[in-house]
Structures are given as structure tokens and as C-alpha cells.
Amino acid sequence: MANAQTVAEWLNADPRVDYVNHASLPEHRHHSRGKELLPKGLGAVFSFGIVSGRANGKRFIESLQLASHLANVGDARTLVLHPASTTHQQLSEEQLVVNGIPDDLIRISVGLEDVEDIIWDLDQALETATKGENS
């Protein structure tokens, strides 16, 4: 869970990321409740939004080198998924929104690899995915 906390904080500070949904972050609406109920950590599965949506999300997933592109969670390895270009690719943007799946959403299950290696992988994939964006 320490890896997830570190990754969530790193993503939250990155301008190539629009938002991070992890209750460990002070601005999250369930931060106080999470700290009270789960004092040892708030879990390794969370989501974040990559700038400019679906196209960048797909490029991000394709650019990862360490993390695995898998739909399952709870593995010892870092796993990522971009639902809008994979598991829910058949839905329109409107259908994604109605179902609570923004087209920029990346789900991550942070694994036990060295956290610096995880961050390196996320950083290089974000860089590739958002080339040409204002960051």
C-alpha cells in the first residue's frame, strides 16, 4: 500500500494527469473516512484521468513497459487498464459518461515492484501519450 500512496501522490502532482481518485489524497471526498477506517493504508487499486481523453489513454497503455495491461486486480504486479479503449470500447462517449466511465479514466492496481520503477514506467508512458500537449 505504500507503493500505491507514493504513486497516487506522484500522479496527483503531474500536469499530464487531470485527476486522481484515491482516498489517501487530502482533497478526496472520503479522505477522512478512509484514514479512520483503514489507518494502515487505503489500498492499491485506484483510478486517474489522463489529459485529452481516449486517444491519450490508449497511447498511454500501449507505451507502458513494466506495468501489465490486464483487467484483473490484486496481483503482485502493477496492472493498468483504459476501459474506454478496451473493455468498454464499444460504448459511445455518452454511454461511457452515463455508466460512470470517463474516456480519460485509467485504472491502476499498484504492485510490489520498486516504486521508482513504477513511477519511471508511468512517467515515460505519460510522456509518450501526451507529446504535443501543454504540460
Examine residue 50 and state whether it is found in any structural domain, yes or no: yes
Average pLDDT of the segment spanning 14-35: 91
Residue 135's pLDDT band, with cuts at 50, 70 and 90, is: very low
Domain with residue 33: its CATH number is 3.90.1150.10
- Contact partners, residue 124, CB within 8 Å, separation at least 6: 63, 65
Examine residue 31 and state whether it is found in any structural domain, yes or no: yes
Average pLDDT of the segment spanning 30-42: 86
Number of domains in the chain: 1
Examine residue 134 and state whether it is found in any structural domain, yes or no: no
> Quick one: pLDDT at residue 134?
52
Distances (CA, A) of 84 to 57, 58, 81, 100: 8, 8, 9, 11
Domain that holds residue 76: 2-129
Judged on CB neighbours under 10 Å (0-12, 13-18, 19+), 119 is middle
Examine residue 36 and state whether it is found in any structural domain, yes or no: yes
The pLDDT tens digits for 46-83 are 999 999 888 898 899 999 999 998 888 778 999 999 88
Beta strands 45-50 and 17-21 are antiparallel
Please report the DSSP string for the chain in residue order: -HHHHHHHHHHHT-TTEEEEE-TTSTTSTTHHHHHHH-TT---SEEEEEETTHHHHHHHHHHH-SSSEE-S----SS-EEE-GGGTTTTTS-HHHHHHTT--TTEEEEE--SS-HHHHHHHHHHHHHHHTTTS--
Residue 90, pLDDT above cutoff 70: yes
